[in-house]
Structure 1
Amino acid sequence: MNDEAKVTGRGPAKADEPIEAERPTLKTIAFMAGLGVTTVSRALKDAPEIGQATKNRVRLIAKQIGYRPNRAGVRLRTGKTNVISLVLNAQSEIMGLTSNMVYGISEVLSNTPYHLTVTPYSAENDPMQPIRYIVETGSADGIIMSRTEPDDPRVRYLTEHGIPFATHGRTEMGIEHPYHDFDNETFADMATKSLLAKGRRRIAMMGGPSPAVTYFRHLQRGFLRAIEEGNATPIAVAGIDVDTALGTIRRKTEEVMSRPNRPDGIVCCSGSTAIALVAGIEAAGLKIGHDVDLVSKQTSDVLHWFRPEIIVVNEDIRHAGRQLAQAVLRRIEGADPRELQSLSYPF
């Protein structure tokens, strides 16, 4: 047996058999760019002392040859993982929220050494579980998470452990932290007033699962304020919310809309829930835009195609992803969390 067979456990390579290419390294980029390895390394880290033209050339070569830093080596040298973890509830809005948020975050991370991992968890499980795992294993340098609560134990835990993070949503616990949020209070106020302007006076809201999540409180404040100002009647729809299975929402809606005291206007904060509501309304023999009006927030451009009669308010989740990624990266660099707080508004 020749030396090659002893090392690889294979026979000699055939003449036409491809030889696996070596993984590109900093030396590969340095050779191709005519630069020193140290200069290449600093250029990839966006060091301020390296000119922009040099950075652009180095990044282009790195992209063309498929260079990826050895994350194990980076961690040994710097103590960093170069990973940002997105922690999401597995029951998140199916119509564009998760994918668009990932796109937005990835757009920001693409020009950095950081990589994105998505860590889902079930609503039945403790939301602290994935957070503790990430912190205890040191598997990410920063965390992005959603569905914040007014007094959120995850925010307290990460703050106490000094872990950079940003939340999609606000808290009410007196801890300053990075966040990006949609102004749901303004949305609910505007949506309800648009129904009042159409002469609707018995109005229901399909909001969050409970006051346990902050955005539900914001929705309630805007909704009830507009109801009071418009001298209308709020109609409670028990047993369903945006986390309820769509088939159940459709069935329950049909029951509610078949009653004599049914709502004549509905505010909804989820595109997929709105589709289930429409199915239930139409199963009850009613017509959107005639017997009942529906205002819904959406995170993807679907509802206008589904039923043009739905009054649509857009929430740009890709923009939210970009804002959250920028916030957590700046927090890793040590920026004041009060400088990393932003809001989007209904449009």
Structure 2
Amino acid sequence: MDEKSRRIPATAPAERPTLKTIAYMTGLGITTVSRALKDAPDIGSDTKERVRLVARQLGYQPNRAGVRLRTGKTNVIALVLSIEQELMGFTNQLVQGISEVLGGTQYHLVVTPHSFEKDQMVPIRYILDTGSADGVIISRIEPDDPRVRVMTERNLPFVTHGRTDMGIGHPFHDFDNEAYAYQAVEQLVKRGRKRIALLAPQSRFSYHIHSRIGFERGLVDFQATEVSMGRTTTETSLDEIRAYAERMSRLPEPPDGIISLSGSSSIAMIAGIEAAGRRLGKDVDLVSKQSAEFLNWIRPEILTVTEDVRHAGRELAKAVLARIDGVAPELLQSIDIPVWSAMGPTSRAARAE
């Protein structure tokens, strides 16, 4: 083999598919292809579907640098997700729901993990300073959340998974944890339980306040008393939750009903309860919220409400896209409410008042 032959690769690298490639494959003009991929209203649905199908088959990806130079947009939606969030279905379901909506658009999802033990403003400042996303989805919302304030001031489209109490109108999707805790007390009292503990999130979060309001209202209305969980929260390590549940179960007057806002925390609670020799469904009842329907597979005695996190992801994605398009924040607010049925708890969507 001569020197020239050795320098030529046996297989030339495949060219990156472009709008021109899709236009050739579909027999459409480049402008039509571009507008179809952008979901332009003047392009027919059949044409859009044909263009998207060919684009997927070719593995087409828009040149983000070129798009940004031409339009000033990144075509990126950033999901700023706390690494402390429950892993038993929450993250996967949320990302899946968001992706289902973004899949039919020019937008791409970029997950930006961060720790609430550190400065929660770091990922937001980075996005704002670099202009690296057209819209942002955040979770673990606080009543007075500095991220909401700065994104509002800087006019960056965003949506929150949870509500603030700041007097700032902004898009959000939430689960009605007040109603959940209230109805959970009612369900336990119907089963003869009177000493009830609430395993809630850290007090810094909005949904801690919502769940406490519902819980305390339920205690008054249904004449039950609270057994304190001390400093134990859904953010406490599972080992510590298990140990505390065991100690609490050995008290002279242990709780006979427990309400949990986390599926994984509920598993740890059950382990501690049974280590103390108490029986679930006999000596104590547990009501738990879960992000995926799995608790009753392993312990049918648990009373469960499934928070549809996949649906929440879809609602969050639709809201941030609408906000990018200029829809008023007040029109982009929704809440899922718990619904108890004979078949077990579920949830249904409702527009926020």
TM-score class, shorter-chain normalisation, is: over 0.9
In the TM superposition, residue 308 of structure 1 has moved relative to its aligned partner by: 0.8
The secondary structure found in structure 1 opposite 2:117 is: coil
Sort the Cα spacing of 1:3 and 1:171 in 2 relative to 1 into closer, same or farther, 3 A.
farther
Residue 321 of structure 1: aligned partner? 313
Residue 113 of structure 2: aligned partner? 120
Residue 275 of structure 2: aligned partner? 283
Give structure 1 regions of 4+ aligned residues with deviation exceeding 6 angstroms.
2-5
Instruction: Look up the equivalent residue of 2:305 and give its one-letter code.
Output: V
Which of 275, 299, 306 does residue 298 from structure 2 map onto?
306
Q: Deviations over 1:267-311 (max 9, x none)?
A: 001000000000000000100000110000000111101211111
- The reply on whether 1:169 has 2:159 as its aligned counterpart is no
Q: Deviations over 1:146-173 (max 9, x none)?
A: 0111111110000000000000000111
Unaligned runs of 5+ in 1: none
Q: Deviations over 1:81-118 (max 9, x none)?
A: 11101111111011111110000000000000111111
Q: Deviations over 1:33-71 (max 9, x none)?
A: 112111111111111222222212111111111111011
d(CA) in 2 for partners of 1:49 and 1:239? 58
- The reply on whether 1:12 has 2:8 as its aligned counterpart is yes
Residue 335 of structure 1: aligned partner? 327
TM-score of the superposition, structure 2-length normalised? 0.94
Which of 136, 139, 142 does residue 146 from structure 1 map onto?
139
Further displaced range: 285-294 or 298-307: 298-307
The secondary structure found in structure 1 opposite 2:7 is: coil
Residue 215 of structure 1: aligned partner? 207
The secondary structure found in structure 2 opposite 1:147 is: coil
d(CA) in 2 for partners of 1:306 and 1:249? 19
Query: Identity over the aligned pairs, expressed in percent?
Result: 58
Instruction: Look up the equivalent residue of 2:265 and give its one-letter code.
Output: T
Further displaced range: 48-57 or 226-235: 48-57
Further displaced range: 227-236 or 324-333: 227-236
Q: Deviations over 1:307-339 (max 9, x none)?
A: 111111110000000000000000000000111
d(CA) in 2 for partners of 1:26 and 1:229? 63
d(CA) in 2 for partners of 1:49 and 1:199? 62
Which of 37, 43, 46 does residue 36 from structure 2 map onto?
43
Residue 250 of structure 1: aligned partner? 242
Residue 202 of structure 1: aligned partner? 195
In the TM superposition, residue 123 of structure 1 has moved relative to its aligned partner by: 2.2
d(CA) in 2 for partners of 1:252 and 1:118? 34
Which of 143, 150, 157 does residue 150 from structure 2 map onto?
157
Residue 220 of structure 2: aligned partner? 228
The secondary structure found in structure 1 opposite 2:81 is: strand
Residue 54 of structure 1: aligned partner? 47
The secondary structure found in structure 2 opposite 1:62 is: helix
Instruction: Look up the equivalent residue of 2:7 and give its one-letter code.
Output: G
Instruction: Look up the equivalent residue of 1:321 and give its one-letter code.
Output: G
In the TM superposition, residue 3 of structure 1 has moved relative to its aligned partner by: 11
Instruction: Look up the equivalent residue of 2:56 and give its one-letter code.
Output: K
Residue 103 of structure 1: aligned partner? 96
Unaligned runs of 5+ in 2: 339-345, 347-353
TM-score of the superposition, structure 1-length normalised? 0.95
Structural mapping, 1:62-77, within 5 Å: 62-77=55-70
The secondary structure found in structure 2 opposite 1:41 is: helix
d(CA) in 2 for partners of 1:91 and 1:136? 25
In the TM superposition, residue 124 of structure 1 has moved relative to its aligned partner by: 1.2
d(CA) in 1 for partners of 2:18 and 2:229? 60
Instruction: Look up the equivalent residue of 1:329 and give its one-letter code.
Output: L
RMSD: 1.5
- The reply on whether 1:82 has 2:78 as its aligned counterpart is no
In the TM superposition, residue 345 of structure 1 has moved relative to its aligned partner by: 1.2
The secondary structure found in structure 2 opposite 1:345 is: strand
d(CA) in 2 for partners of 1:3 and 1:229? 90
In the TM superposition, residue 239 of structure 1 has moved relative to its aligned partner by: 2.5
